[in-house]
Amino acid sequence: MSADNLGFLLIGVIAVMAGATIVLMLVRSELAQASGVSPTRGGGRLFLAAALGMGIVAFTVKLTTFTLMATLPQQVINPLMVERHFTEIVPADWTKMPGPPQKDAIYQWQALPQAAPAPADNPTTIEKVELGKRLFFDPNLSLTRDVSCASCHDVVGGTGVDGRRTSKGIRGQMGGRNAPTVWNAAFQAVLFWDGRAASLEDQAMGPPLNPIEMGMPSGEAVAQRVRENAGYREPFDLAFGKGTPITFERIAQAIAAYERTLITPDAPYDRFVRGDRSALTPAQLRGMALFQSTGCIACHSGANFSGASFVDLTAGDPPSGVANDNGRFRMFPGNDTPYVQRYKLTADKGAAGAGSDRGIWRIPSLRNVALTGPWLHNGSVDKLEEVVRIMAASQLGASINGEPHLGRAVFWSPDERSVSRVDRPVLSEADVQDLVAFLKALSSARLAQKLAAQ
C-alpha cells in the first residue's frame, strides 16, 4: 500500500475517533436530557451513543472505501472487481481480438506432414517444380534484370529470407516490410503479413509487378521475358503439355509448385512428436509446456504453428480442409505496451487499413523462426527474447519479470454466447528463455546445419 493510501486511512481513523467523542459529549450534555433518559442511569445513554456512533462509523468507512478505490492503481483493483472487465469485452468484432487461450481443452501437438497440399488445378509434378525453381532464381523477371525471387528469399545459402529489416528491390529501393521465409509458406492458407494473397499462385504474381520489388509493368511483360529465352520452351512443354502458351498465370503456377517443395518436417520438435523423446532438451520441454499454458497456442496453433495454416486442428490433415477464417487474423498489438512506441508497431496497420488505431495481421508460422530474424512485420526487433516478451505482453497481457500485472480478462463470444475468464500469465525472465529454447526446437535440422557450415 502506498504512502498516499496510508494517509487516507489515518484521516479515516481520526474522523472515527473525533466522531465518537462528539457523540459522547452530545449524549451526555444534550440528548439525554431532551429524550428524558436519566443522566445518572447508564443504559439508555449508552444505547443512544452506540446508535449515533454506528451511523457515523458506517459513513466514515464508506467515505474511506470510496477514496481508496479512487486512488488505488488499476492493477490492484482489477482482480477485486471481476465485473469491471465486462467493459473491456464485447468489441465490435471480437474475432479480431486476441482470443482466450483454451486452457482446459486438450491440445494436440502435431508434426509437419511430409508433403504440402496442392490445389486441384495445380497439382505438384516434378517437371513443374523444376521449371518453377528455374523461374524463382531468374533475375530476368525483374525490370532491371538483377532481382529474382531468390534475391530476397535466399533458399540456397540462407533460410528463405534476406536478413534485412525490410527488403531491397530494384535500383536499391527499400520496401516497408520484412521478408518472411518461403520455407513452409506452402502450409499457409493466406499469404503475406497481411494475408492479402489467397494462394501461393496469387502471391507469386505480386512481387514481379510491385514497383519497389521487381518493377515489371504488366504480367504480359513478365511472360514476354520468359518467352524471349528459348531455353524455357522445353521445360514449359514438359510441365504443362506441348505447345501450352507461356503466360504470367502459368509462370506463377510453376513457381508455386516449386515453393510447395520448400518444407521442413525435420525440426527437433517434429522428431519429438513422432516419438523420439530425447529430441528436446529440458529447457525446450519447459518452453513447450509454457507455449501451451500461457496461450501462444491460441494463435500459433497446429503443425505449422499458425492459425492461418491449412494444417490446423480445426482443419484436419491436408489437403482436406481450409482453416477456419476467423483463426487466420489477429489484432496486433492487442494491448498497449511500451513496446508499441519503441518498435513503431502501429505505424503499419496491415489488413486493418490506415483508419484503424491497431493493425490486423495474419498469424505467421513460427517454423524456423529462430533462423529468420530480424522479426515482426517491420523487422524492427533483433532479439528473439524481445519478440517473445512483446508477444506475451501485447497478445496475452502477460506480466514479465515483475512488470505490472493486468489481472483478469473476460471474453464474450456473441456467436457461442459464452463467456470465458482468463487469468493473464505471469512470466519470469527464465520462462522467456525457455520459450525461446522451444522456438529453436522448431528450426529445421537441415537449415540449421547449412547455416552452421557457413
Active-site annotation, residues? 213
- By DSSP bridging, strand 426-427 and strand 399-400 are parallel
Per rule CB under 6 A, is residue 180 in the interface with ligand HEC? yes
With contacts defined by CB under 6 A, name the span among 22-30, 107-115, 121-129, 180-188 that binds ligand HEC: 180-188
The 416-445 contact track toward ligand HEC, x by CB under 6 A, reads -------------------x----------
Q: Is 160 in the site for ligand HEC (CB under 6 A)?
A: no
> Helix or strand or coil: residue 277?
coil
Could you give the CA distance from residue 276 to residue 111 in angstroms, rounded to a whole number? 12
Show contacts with ligand HEC in window 353-382 (CB under 6 A). 361, 363-364, 366, 369, 372, 375-377
Residue number with CB closer to ligand HEC (366 or 410): 366
C-alpha torsion 139→140→145→148, nearest 10: -20
Can you tell me whether residue 246 is helix, strand or coil? coil
In the block, residue with C-alpha cell 518493377: 215
Query: By the 8 A CB rule, do 308 and 363 touch?
Result: yes
Using CB under 6 A, which of 12, 208, 215, 318 touches ligand HEC? Answer: 208
CB within 8 Å of 439: residues ≥ 6 apart: 287, 366, 369, 370, 384, 388
φ and ψ of 194, to 5 deg: -95, 10
User: 113 preceded by cis ω (within 30°)?
Assistant: no
Residue span binding ligand HEC (CB under 6 A) among the ranges 12-20, 47-55, 117-125, 205-213: 205-213
Per CB under 6 A, which of residues 240..279 are in contact with ligand HEC?
A: 255, 259
CB 396 within 8 A of CB 424: yes
User: Is 318 near ligand HEC (CB under 6 A)?
Assistant: no
The piece of 1-9, 115-123, 229-237, 295-303 that touches ligand HEC (CB under 6 A) is: 295-303
| Angle, helix 42-71 to helix 3-26, in steps of 10 degrees | 160
Least distance from ligand HEC to the Cβ atom of residue 418, Å: 18
User: How many C-beta atoms surround the C-beta of residue 283 within 10 A?
Assistant: 17
In this chain, which of 332, 339, 343, 411 binds ligand HEC, going by CB under 6 A? 332
Binding residues for ligand HEC, how many (CB under 6 A)? 53
Q: Are 348 and 377 in contact (CB under 8 A)?
A: yes
Residues that bind ligand HEC (CB under 6 A): 98, 147, 149, 151-153, 167, 169, 175, 177, 179-180, 182, 185, 188, 191-194, 200, 203-204, 207-208, 213-214, 255, 259, 294-296, 298-300, 330, 332, 334, 361, 363-364, 366, 369, 372, 375-377, 387-388, 391-392, 395-396, 435
